[in-house]
Amino acid sequence: MKMNTEEAAVLAAFEKIQQAMVDADVDTLDRLIKDDKTFTHMSGKVQTKKEYFADIKSGALDYKSYTIENPSVTI
């Protein structure tokens, strides 16, 4: 899929977030994610940004890698 500039920017931002999760780089995540966001996990657990970041810092959430296959961005 050929992406326009805006779509490519959205995908690039998403990739930065994913890499920051793998790196446990809460400072980068804090810059990229608004304070009012919540996180819903596959289990259904919902966390505030503060709770989510605390779990990343503590190692309770330990992301190993990520892969994006066949991305599709619609603006």
User: What's 43's DSSP letter?
Assistant: T
pLDDT at 48: 97
CB 38 within 8 A of CB 49: yes
The structure's pTM equals 0.83
The reported pLDDT for the residue numbered 75 is 87
pLDDT tens for the chain, 75 residues long, are 688 999 999 999 999 999 999 999 999 999 999 999 999 999 999 999 999 999 999 999 999 998 989 998 988
Phi, psi of 43 (to 5 degrees): -75, -10
pLDDT at 46: 97
What per-residue confidence (pLDDT) applies to 1? 61
